[in-house]
């Protein structure tokens, strides 16, 4: 099975997490943390900064690696490095997604997460509870 390496940016501001709804492709309408594929010669941290700029017209600062998710979809294996990010500048303009929400630890379960992203939700709730 082919492995696809991607990154996700978990943008946190004022105790809320930014989630986006896919507007295209096989997983259209599913909710996820924004990000995408790592390009050749790029570090995962560079990839998440580039992807957030491309998808949301926003510059982020990578704070730390939160988790690496390994998930088997029917057609490929996903390896996703998930980074906690902070907005440096920009207004989170949706260029590829159809919707977005700021979620609190209480509302994290109110969207239909994609399977690979869903595994992060409980861990995020715990982290937000400690802040």
Predicted structure pTM score: 0.94
Average per-residue pLDDT in the chain? 95
99 falls in which pLDDT band (50, 70, 90)? very high
Element (H, E) at 121: helix 115-130
pLDDT tens, residue by residue, 1-40: 999 999 999 999 999 999 999 988 888 999 999 999 999 9
pLDDT of residue 119: 85
- Encode 32-51: b = buried (16+ Cβ within 10 Å), e = exposed: bbbbbebeeeeebbebbbbb
Q: Is 34 annotated as a binding residue?
A: yes
Q: Is 33 annotated as a binding residue?
A: yes
The boundaries of the domain holding residue 24 are: 3-130
Q: Is 32 annotated as a binding residue?
A: yes
Q: Is 70 annotated as a binding residue?
A: no
Strands, E assignment, the chain: 3-13, 16-22, 31-32, 35-37, 58-72, 77-90, 97-103
Q: Does the annotation list 61 as a binding residue?
A: no
CATH number, domain containing residue 112: 3.90.79.10
Asked if the model's pLDDT at residue 131 lies above 80, the reply is no
In Å, what is the CA distance from 98 to each residue of 19, 31, 59? 11, 10, 20
Task: State the total domains in the chain.
Answer: 1
C-alpha–C-alpha distance, residues 66 and 82, integer Å: 6
């Amino acid at each position: 099975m082919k492995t696809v390496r991607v990154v996700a940016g978990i943008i946190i501001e004022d105790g809320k997490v930014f989630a986006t709804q896919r507007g295209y492709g096989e997983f259209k309408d599913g909710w996820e943390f924004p990000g995408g594929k790592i390009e050749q010669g790029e570090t995962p941290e560079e990839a998440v900064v580039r992807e957030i700029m491309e998808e949301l017209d926003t510059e982020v600062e990578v704070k730390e690696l939160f988790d690496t998710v390994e998930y088997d979809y029917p057609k490929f294996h996903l390896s996703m490095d998930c980074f906690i990010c902070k907005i440096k500048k920009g207004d989170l303009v949706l260029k590829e997604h159809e919707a977005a929400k700021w979620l609190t630890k209480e509302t994290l379960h109110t969207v239909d997460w994609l399977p690979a992203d869903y595994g992060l939700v409980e861990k995020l709730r715990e982290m937000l509870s400690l802040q």
